[in-house]
Structure 1
Amino acid sequence: MLIGGLLLAGLAVFLFMSAMFASNADKAQLSWANNSEPAKSKNGIINFSRPLVHQFTLQHAVRIRSENYRKRIRRLILTSGLSRELNEDEFIGLQILWGVMFPAFVIIMNFSLEMGFNNLFLLAMVPAGYYLPVLHANANKKKRELSVRQDLPFFVDLLALSVEAGLDFFSAIQKIVDKAEGRGSVLAEEFEIVLKDIKIGSSKAQALKDLASRLDMNEITSFAAVLIDAEHTGAPISQVLKDQSTQMRLERFVRAEKAGARASQAMLIPLMLFIVPAVFIMVFGPVAISFMYGSN
């Protein structure tokens, strides 16, 4: 524990001193952090950590040049909906920060409460802390996917009705987005971004492709591809939307059936471990007791 504490203390001193004596080149490279702050995060831990990231770890994050690693981080930030809260340098800085803070917190708890963790366990907390931002991003991505899957069939139905009523496709989207304002719908927020992209000059096809990239879901990718193809071929949008709605509801029904089948299989474990033994005890317990006392 002492060795781990000394290592973390040395790392913390290094981060502090490097932040205090950063070169002019480093400061110029990080000037964006003062001029173009990302939006405030919905997560309190990120808001708490951001000043520490900017002060201590951001200058080390920008020195990580691995393009493959940065590409994975950019993809994760984009698909988890964190791109308006964090950029890739902040995310990497957050990983470095929590790679130090999390094991430091565990060491303090271990020392205060005398938990008896060995040095190997404490050392394992470094990669665990480093991976915490990734866990948060993946959890956020799954939450977004669940919200989109719940809203998409209803959303497509409304689009089909609005287009049949005489609105063009993107006017129908605007109407639905306005109705969904304030309800926390991920799909409505993403289509609002599509409308903004088109207003600032993106083509409709590119805006839909960007939507598919941000959500990274088969349903959205298929939906965007069908709409782009319909625009190129001149197919009636209302009929395309109706077909998409029918297909999405069928896929949702199939997913529900599969989830039900998995749930029934998962119930076998508690059934065999707890319910069946209890039934055997209730049925054969009195018989065994009467046999034991009857033989005496």
Structure 2
Amino acid sequence: MELVISVLVFLVLSLIFFPAASLRAILLRKKLMKAAPEEKVQRKGILERFTPLVQSMRLALNIRLTHQKKAWLQSKLNRAGYQDRMSVDHFVTFKVLSAATGAVYFLFLGAVSGNATMLFLAAAALPLGYKIPDVWLSGRIKARQEKIRRELPYVLNAISILADAGTNLFPAIQEVAEKQKGEFSKELTQVIRDVNMGISQGKALEEVGYRCQVDEVSRFVSAITQNLERGSAGITETLRLQAAEVWERRKKHAQQLGEQASMKLFLPLVLLALPAMMIFMIGPVVLSLLDFFQS
């Protein structure tokens, strides 16, 4: 309780004696750093409500994100498929709330139990909680990349079939993107949207490879862009070869997963099945020896 009272007194005194000029400077910097309306991600919930507060705290403490750090976080959000649902400011707020939640939890336990060790745990929870969203985002990126690898053979087969039927490349991509469901179909929809906005076809396809960061997608984009530069005559054959290559890579990946699964099952088999087998085999011998010595 004394700790809570001390924190409240510190906050009140800080508000009373905080220089007004510094406060005006912080407000001005907040207006200058405010995102443009077209760049703001519309998100409802706790992150949207706490983001202005976290931005004000960062301005008060003079904590800034460099352009390289912002670009790196934005690229990770793009690879996770969260570019339309979470901005960089939202993700920073997520990190701050995660750290604050862990620290407050251990402070509450310390106030209730009177154990001073909880203060050290609260201090340790701050950096750990701040890193947990990064681990979560990396997991989302890996899961999305695996989904794209599973969806890619079906999508390429569908595009190649439409191209064989006489449909041009981008109308075929648009039709597949509208009918197929999945992460890679969303990327194709973004390609069509970018081309309709005036971006060149090669540039729109290159952005897909940058957002996905999947080897199979990068090969597909490279083959299609090179074919577009030479002309659209061999696109059908290129799509067919790409689809066959992706299917072959998926078969090899499935075989690797099967081999890894057998290795992962070996240790549980040794720990669980082997003791039971040894009891079944040695148990009668042990019982016979006990009967012999008792008699």
Which of 249, 252, 256 aligns to 1:254? It is 252
**Is the Cα contact below 8 Å between 1:33 and 1:54 reproduced in 2?**
no
Q: Say if 1:281 and 1:117 are closer, same or farther in 2 by CA, change over 3 A.
A: farther
Q: Say if 1:115 and 1:188 are closer, same or farther in 2 by CA, change over 3 A.
A: farther
**Is the Cα contact below 8 Å between 1:107 and 1:122 reproduced in 2?**
yes
Structure 2 Cα separation of the partners of residues 211 and 40 of structure 1: 24
1:103 aligns with 2:106: no
1:79 aligns with 2:83: no
Structure 1 Cα separation of the partners of residues 57 and 111 of structure 2: 31
What does 1:147-296 align with in structure 2 at a 5 Å threshold?
Answer: 147-180=147-180, 183=181, 185-234=182-231, 235-296=233-294
After superposition, the C-alpha distances for 1:176-229 in whole angstroms (9 at most, x for unaligned) are 12213xx4x111111100001001111111001101111111111111001001
Structure 2 Cα separation of the partners of residues 13 and 178 of structure 1: 54
Q: Taking CA–CA contacts closer than 8 Å with sequence separation of 6 or more, which of the two structures ends up with the larger relative contact order?
A: 1
CA RMSD, aligned part only? 3.1
Normalising by structure 2, we get a TM-score of 0.84
What does 1:69-148 align with in structure 2 at a 5 Å threshold?
Answer: 69-109=69-109, 111=111, 118-148=118-148
- Larger CA deviation: 212-221 vs 89-98: 89-98
What is the one-letter code of the residue matched to 1:244?
A: Q
- Larger CA deviation: 48-57 vs 160-169: 48-57
Structure 2 Cα separation of the partners of residues 267 and 35 of structure 1: 51
**Is the Cα contact below 8 Å between 1:58 and 1:90 reproduced in 2?**
no
What is the one-letter code of the residue matched to 2:184?
A: L
After superposition, the C-alpha distances for 1:153-177 in whole angstroms (9 at most, x for unaligned) are 0000000000111110110011112
Q: Say if 1:116 and 1:277 are closer, same or farther in 2 by CA, change over 3 A.
A: farther
Structure 2 Cα separation of the partners of residues 150 and 128 of structure 1: 33
After superposition, the C-alpha distances for 1:241-296 in whole angstroms (9 at most, x for unaligned) are 11011110110111111111111111111111111011101111111111122122
Point out the structure with max Rg over C-alpha. Answer: 2
**Is the Cα contact below 8 Å between 2:110 and 2:118 reproduced in 1?**
no
Structure 2 Cα separation of the partners of residues 90 and 269 of structure 1: 42
Structure 2 Cα separation of the partners of residues 138 and 200 of structure 1: 31
What does 1:41-60 align with in structure 2 at a 5 Å threshold?
Answer: 47-57=45-55, 60=58
Structure 1 Cα separation of the partners of residues 209 and 11 of structure 2: 44
Q: Say if 1:288 and 1:147 are closer, same or farther in 2 by CA, change over 3 A.
A: same
Normalising by structure 1, we get a TM-score of 0.84
What is the one-letter code of the residue matched to 1:25?
A: L
**Is the Cα contact below 8 Å between 1:38 and 1:86 reproduced in 2?**
yes
Q: Say if 1:132 and 1:282 are closer, same or farther in 2 by CA, change over 3 A.
A: same
- Larger CA deviation: 120-129 vs 51-60: 51-60
Match of 2:41 in 1: 38
Identity over aligned pairs, percent: 19
Point out where structure 1 has 5 or more consecutive residues left out of the alignment.
42-46
Q: Say if 1:81 and 1:248 are closer, same or farther in 2 by CA, change over 3 A.
A: same
**Is the Cα contact below 8 Å between 2:106 and 2:119 reproduced in 1?**
no
- Aligned pair count reads 283
**Is the Cα contact below 8 Å between 2:191 and 2:208 reproduced in 1?**
yes
After superposition, the C-alpha distances for 1:80-101 in whole angstroms (9 at most, x for unaligned) are 1122222223322332332223
Q: Say if 1:111 and 1:198 are closer, same or farther in 2 by CA, change over 3 A.
A: same
Partner-residue secondary structure (3-state), 1:29: helix
